[in-house]
């Protein structure tokens, strides 16, 4: 459990650093210290609440009323104000209104929606000029690698060939970085920074982190150094891509 917590901390820290820089740059450009941020599929507010605590106007859109209630409780405990709205990514423009957001967070959503293209189109519609979307999605390459290392070679080959159903694999959709980039650009956005998350974390035995008090920080430093390096970034468990309007 300790190892899993530290790995989650590594992932959150890297995403938070990237988004914090994007938010600071947007605030300076717009001349407004408080931005309008929409977290679609934001669930219990893991990223939304920290941004709300900094004084930004944050709206969480999620299909689950239970998750939204949890997000509001979390915000109240942090002394922050948060708007929670029940809705789907594909109808985001009608839920929050067109050109209403400086930043849209879309993490672990495209894997589950009926149409990723429709979701990205709706997200683009709510972005103001020069606004940003943060997309986080599962990586096909990592799934292939992990199955191969586990000896599940047929599954790995069929995943690599885009045939998960033929291997009897069910679950969320996955993307390569070129596929994710094409999806963002097809919606009319300019693809920006790309990072890999959990490049090494899923491969490191938990016992190594539990045995070394400084291991978590050393792993975080390694993940941060490798996150934008293409040969390593492209095998990460998750891909993080910014898109700009």
Cα distance from N-terminal residue to C-terminal residue, the chain? 40
Q: Is-contact 198 10, C-beta < 8 A?
A: yes
The tens-digit pLDDT sequence of the chain (245 residues) is: 233 333 345 567 789 999 999 999 999 999 999 999 999 999 999 999 999 999 999 999 999 999 999 999 999 999 999 999 999 999 999 999 999 999 999 999 999 999 999 999 999 999 999 999 999 999 999 999 888 988 989 888 888 877 665 555 666 899 999 999 999 999 999 999 999 998 987 777 667 766 666 777 788 888 889 999 999 999 999 999 999 99
Q: How far apart are CA 168 and CA 153, in angstroms?
A: 13
| Residue 78, phi then psi, degrees to nearest 5 | -90, 0
Residue identified by tokens 């938010």 is: 23
Q: How far apart are CA 155 and CA 67, in angstroms?
A: 33
Q: For 133, what's the count of Cα atoms within 13 Å in the CB-facing half-sphere?
A: 35
Strand order in the sheet with 101-107: 83-86, 57-62, 36-40, 101-107, 127-138, 238-244, 190-197
Helix H or strand E segment including 107: strand 101-107
Select from 51, 186, 198 the least CA-distant residue to 121.
Answer: 186
CB atoms within 10 A of CB 79: 8
**Residue 133's beta-bridge partner residues?**
104, 243
Q: What is the pLDDT of residue 100?
A: 96
Q: Is-contact 16 105, C-beta < 8 A?
A: no
Q: Could you tell me how many residues make up the chain? A: 245
Q: What is the pLDDT of residue 10?
A: 53
Q: What is the pLDDT of residue 211?
A: 67
Q: What is the pTM of this model?
A: 0.88
> Tokens representing 230?
């293409």
Q: How far apart are CA 3 and CA 225, in angstroms?
A: 20
Q: Which CATH superfamily is domain 2-137+175-244 in?
A: Vaccinia Virus protein VP39 (3.40.50.150)
Helix H or strand E segment including 111: none
Q: What is the pLDDT of residue 220?
A: 81
3-state helix, strand and coil shares in percent for the chain, rounded to the nearest 5: 50, 20, 30
Q: What is the pLDDT of residue 6?
A: 37
Q: What is the pLDDT of residue 52?
A: 97
Break the chain into its structural domains and give their ranges.
2-137+175-244, 140-172
């Amino acid at each position: 459990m300790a190892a899993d917590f530290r790995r989650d901390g590594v992932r959150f820290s890297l995403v938070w650093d990237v988004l914090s820089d994007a938010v600071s740059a947007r605030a300076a450009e717009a001349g407004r210290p408080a931005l309008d941020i929409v977290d679609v599929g934001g669930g219990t507010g893991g990223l939304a609440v920290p941004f709300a605590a900094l004084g930004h106007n944050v709206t969480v859109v999620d299909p689950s009323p239970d998750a939204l209630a949890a997000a509001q409780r979390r915000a109240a405990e942090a002394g922050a104000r948060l708007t929670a709205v029940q809705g789907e990514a594909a109808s985001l423009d009608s839920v929050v209104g067109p050109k209403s957001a400086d930043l849209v967070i879309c993490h672990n959503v495209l894997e589950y929606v009926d149409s990723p293209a429709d979701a990205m189109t709706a997200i683009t519609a709510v972005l103001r000029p020069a606004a940003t979307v943060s997309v986080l999605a599962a990586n096909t390459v990592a799934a292939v690698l992990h199955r191969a290392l586990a000896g599940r070679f047929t599954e790995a080959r069929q995943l690599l060939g885009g045939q998960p159903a033929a291997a009897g694999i069910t679950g969320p959709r996955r993307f390569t970085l070129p596929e994710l980039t094409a999806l963002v650009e097809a919606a009319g956005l300019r693809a920006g920074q790309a990072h890999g998350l959990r490049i090494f974390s899923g491969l490191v035995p938990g016992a190594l982190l539990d045995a070394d008090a400084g291991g978590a920080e050393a792993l975080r430093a390694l993940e941060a150094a490798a996150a934008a390096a293409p040969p390593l970034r492209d095998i990460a468990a998750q891909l993080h891509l910014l898109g700009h309007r």
